[in-house]
């Protein structure tokens, strides 16, 4: 298989309301950086993806929901990440998702930093991230200037942008979150980051 050590980005699809995506979000930049690869953070909406896959949210499924809560806590302990749930949870993640695209168009590195921090605040510390005010406050704590964002967030352009990003994701085969694409190789799930890491290391197998 062809190895492309050309520094092209690893695409990272996620929904801010996915706790497994939270766990991934705290380590993915560091892992990809070791291989000279930046991460292209792309929020999507799992609800829209599930209209295509026909799935229910994992946490809402009998037996699987209970197991997943236990697995999540164990995974969080394994990677030393704090775990807490905002109220309500699951929550609608359109605001932070649109905010990230808004910032991404202006400062890619800041968008990555904000994405990681929003995840940490909501699933590490149980903080709400679903309002423009909450996103702006958290950005401010990271030293990121969001002037102009609150006017844009309610406008048609950002709404349309997020819709298009979800369509592109579905067309690329994205069936859940977190979901990564390395060159043309897809990896679904926080539990596939070890394969992704080996793939970047070896160029594939």
**125 scored as a contact of a copy of itself (CB under 8 A):** no
**205 scored as a contact of a copy of itself (CB under 8 A):** yes
**82 scored as a contact of a copy of itself (CB under 8 A):** no
For the beta carbon of residue 80, count every other beta carbon within 10 angstroms.
Answer: 7
For residue 76, give every residue at least 6 positions away whose Cβ sits within 8 Å of its Cβ, in sequence order, or none: 23, 82, 83
Question: For the chain, how far is it from start to end, CA to CA, in angstroms?
Answer: 7
Restricted to residues 165-194, the positions that interact with a copy of itself (CB under 8 A) are 170, 173-176, 186, 188-189, 191-192, 194
| The one segment of 39-47, 71-79, 87-95, 141-149 that binds a copy of itself by CB under 8 A | 71-79
**159 scored as a contact of a copy of itself (CB under 8 A):** no
Range list of H helices, 15-145: 19-25, 28-34, 46-53, 64-79, 94-104, 108-119, 125, 132-141
Q: Which is nearer to a copy of itself, 35 or 64 (CB)?
A: 64
Q: Which is nearer to a copy of itself, 3 or 77 (CB)?
A: 77
Grouping H, G, I as helix, E, B as strand and the rest as coil, residue 61 is: coil
Q: Which is nearer to a copy of itself, 159 or 198 (CB)?
A: 198
Residue 179 to residue 81: CA distance in whole angstroms: 20
Total residues at interface with a copy of itself (CB under 8 A): 32
Residue 92 to residue 49: CA distance in whole angstroms: 14
Name the residues that contact a copy of itself, by CB under 8 A.
49, 52-56, 61-64, 66-67, 70-71, 74-75, 77-78, 170, 173-176, 186, 188-189, 191-192, 194-195, 198, 205
């Amino acid at each position: 298989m062809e190895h492309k050590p050309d520094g092209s980005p690893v695409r990272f699809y996620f929904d801010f309301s996915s706790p497994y995506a939270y766990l991934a979000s705290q380590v993915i930049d560091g892992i990809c950086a070791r291989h000279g690869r930046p991460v292209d953070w792309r929020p999507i909406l799992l609800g829209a993806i599930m209209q295509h896959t026909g799935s229910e949210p994992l946490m809402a499924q009998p037996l699987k929901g209970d197991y997943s809560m236990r697995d999540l806590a164990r995974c969080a302990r394994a990677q030393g990440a704090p775990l807490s749930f905002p109220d309500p949870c699951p929550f609608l993640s359109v605001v932070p998702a649109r905010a990230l695209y808004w910032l991404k168009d202006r400062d890619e590195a800041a968008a990555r930093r904000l994405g990681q921090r929003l995840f940490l605040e909501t699933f590490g510390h149980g903080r709400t991230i679903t309002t423009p005010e909450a996103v702006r406050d958290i950005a401010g704590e990271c030293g990121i200037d969001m002037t102009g964002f609150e006017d844009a967030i309610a406008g048609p352009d950002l709404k349309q942008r997020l819709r298009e990003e979800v369509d592109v994701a579905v067309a690329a085969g994205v069936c859940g979150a977190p979901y990564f694409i390395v060159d043309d190789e897809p990896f679904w799930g926080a539990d596939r980051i070890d394969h992704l890491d080996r793939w970047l290391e070896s160029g594939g197998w």
